[in-house]
Amino acid sequence: MLASCAWQSNANEGLPRDVARFIERRDSCEHFMGEEPYDVQRAAYLARQAEKYCRGSDAELSRLKAKFSSNGRVIAELEKYDSDIEP
């Protein structure tokens, strides 16, 4: 886990702080939404995590795209994310 966090941190290096935070949050959102809910407890846990990390992320993505519309590197990173992912 530490290695993946270090890699993620390096990947976001040089990006504006709000964009880097969005990427970390949205990656967590997508991770939990992609997990298998193999029992009732797990399904409840995944739903809580998706709510925690996904809520508001569609609007945040739109806001960041508008804010950084003239920054090609930022837009290229943000274009990797679906604009409608919230559960």
pTM of the model: 0.81
Tens digits of residue pLDDT in 26-69: 999 999 999 999 999 999 999 999 999 999 999 999 999 999 99
Max Cα–Cα distance, the chain, nearest Å = 46
Tens digits of residue pLDDT in 3-28: 444 444 556 778 999 999 999 999 99
Alpha-helical segments (H) within the chain: 2-11, 17-33, 40-54, 57-67, 72-78
Our CA dihedral for 37, 42, 43, 47, rounded to 10 degrees, sits at -120
- pLDDT confidence of residue 12: 75
Query: Domain boundaries in the chain?
Result: 2-78
